[in-house]
Amino acid sequence: MDGFYLSILPRLVGINDDNNFIILDNFNVRNILAFNENGKARTKIGSYGKEKHQYLFPESLYYQKDSKEYYIYDGDLLRILVFDNNFNFKFNFCIPLFLEQIIVTKEGRIFCYTSGVSNKKGPDKVIYECTREGKIVNKFAKQSKNYCKAGESKGGGIVLKGDNLFVITPYEYEIRKYTLEGRLIKKIERNPPFYIPPIKVKDISILKDFRKRNNYHKSWSHIRQIFSIGENFIGVVYLEPGGPRAFLDIYDINLNIVEENILMPEYVGGPAGIFSDGDFVYLLKKAKLSSKNQIIPPSIEIYKSNVK
């Protein structure tokens, strides 16, 4: 079928009720594709463009299993598109935020996460709740104390478990647990052996010097993502400074450490290298060049959690 192209760095963002893998790709193509368990492309969700059912830069997708709807955030047009379980377009609405992740509850409440500057005045909150018309009705979770413009980075995120949201930003190893109304229940701050926190910089000249800014980013550990594991656990992935290795820590829903310093076998260079569904964890492996300069396509490794 025409249009079934993947870059070397796609992202696994969902698994629907038909056990299709939903792949979002915005590295150098703009596609959202559904693949079956054999890796065969089934269909596209939406397409590239500016029409009401299209997107220019698909940044995030959330599949709501109860309503069987796909919520897609377009980072260029600043809007969310909604598709039904048969991949048919339903409606869209604009939202005045640059987002990285959306989560939708079974009641239809929409929560949005951003790790950067949310408005022209500077860093504000990182969690926003909006209606299906795009109206912001609540915001909470204060931006990290380590945030600075020179260090702005994608990563961290939110996890929904029951009636609670678990939040972490890229800039500090602090996990916070909130109610859906934004009340802080608990927070923990950790300093694992392979984690180096960022040093906040005030020299704005670094913003205009790519080499200096790149070296600064390589000097600290980026929190890449937080994700759910089964019914009772969450995982946090962070990188060594410079990103040569990624480590996984596992917590229970009361934020007690269960397992830590688990070296990841491979982790893609983005904030969504792992996807989980129930007790299964899916590790996305990016495309590679073989010794014969042939492209080895992206693949998915499946693990079953034994955390108890």
Q: How far is CA 135 from the centre of its chain?
A: 22
Among 61-75, 117-131, 135-149, whose mean pLDDT is lowest?
A: 117-131
Q: Is residue 63 part of a domain?
A: no
pLDDT at 237: 94
Residue 77 lies in a domain: no
Range of the domain at 165: 146-304
> How confident is the model over 221-263, as pLDDT tens digits?
999 999 999 999 999 999 999 878 999 999 999 999 999 999 9
This model's pTM is above 0.85:
yes
Cα separation of 14 and 1, whole Å?
21
Query: Does residue 131 form part of some domain?
Result: no
Q: What SS3 class is residue 210? A: helix
- Top-confidence residue, 159 or 200: 159
Residue 83 lies in a domain: no
In the structure, what pLDDT confidence band is assigned to residue 89 with cuts at 50, 70 and 90?
Answer: very high
pLDDT at residue 3, rounded to an integer: 53
Asked whether residue 105 is domain-assigned, the answer is no
Cα 139 to Cα 130: distance, rounded to the nearest angstrom: 9
**Alpha carbon distance 228, 215 (integer Å):** 32
> In this structure, is residue 115 part of a structural domain?
no
Question: Is 125 within the bounds of a domain?
Answer: no
**Strand pairing of 184-189 and 136-142?**
unpaired
Residue 73 within any structural domain of the chain: no
* Domains: count for the chain: 1
Query: Across residues 31-42, what is the average pLDDT?
Result: 87
Higher pLDDT, 207 or 44: 44
Residue 291 has pLDDT above 80, yes or no: no
Please name which of 136, 51, 133 lies closest in space to residue 94, comparing C-alpha atoms. 133
